């Protein structure tokens, strides 16, 4: 339960100021990825349509904002040494990492074949 609280707090920091916490829909999801690796994600959806997510990956707490996606959902962290990308469609997800200054072809898959079923 501690990790859900940590994820909740972290993602709340990525939503626009002025939103009341009671208005935000919080959805915790646990995915199981290749080799049985768990991936805990908390999704935060505000009434104004903004959305954020938080996850722990590579022993780091990663907060992300929703980004444009052609199909499914896509969340991206804010830079620094690079960008974590969470893609999800239906019950399945993938996490990748793009180092700062790299082109999209350099994106490395961190967790794949993740399922929340």
CATH class of 2-115: mainly beta
Q: Tell me how crowded residue 97 is: count the other CB atoms within 10 A of its CB.
A: 20
Q: Model-level pTM greater than 0.85?
A: no
- Structural domain boundaries in the chain: 2-115
Residue 88 CA to residue 60 CA, distance in Å, equals 20
Place of tokens 């898959």: 109
CA distance 75 to 68: 8
| Predicted confidence (pLDDT) per residue in 19-56, tens digit | 455 688 999 999 999 999 999 999 999 998 889 999 99
Helix H, strand E, coil C: the string for 52-101 is EEEEEECCEEEEEEEECCCCCEEEEECCCCEEEEEEEECCEEEEEEEECC
Cβ proximity of 75 and 65 under 8 Å: yes
pLDDT (tens digit, 9 = 90+) per residue, 84-110?
999 999 999 999 999 888 887 789 999
């Amino acid at each position: 339960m501690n990790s859900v609280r940590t994820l909740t707090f972290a993602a709340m920091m990525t939503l626009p100021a002025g939103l009341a916490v009671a208005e935000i829909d919080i959805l915790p999801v646990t995915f199981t990825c290749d080799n049985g690796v768990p991936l805990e994600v908390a999704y935060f959806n505000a009434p104004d349509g903004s959305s954020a997510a938080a996850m722990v990956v590579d022993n780091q707490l990663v907060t992300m904002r929703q980004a444009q996606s052609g199909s499914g959902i896509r969340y991206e962290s804010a830079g620094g040494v690079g960008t974590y990308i969470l893609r999800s469609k239906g019950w399945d997800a993938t996490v990748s990492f793009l180092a700062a200054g790299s082109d999209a072809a350099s994106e490395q898959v961190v967790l794949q074949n993740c399922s929340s079923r």
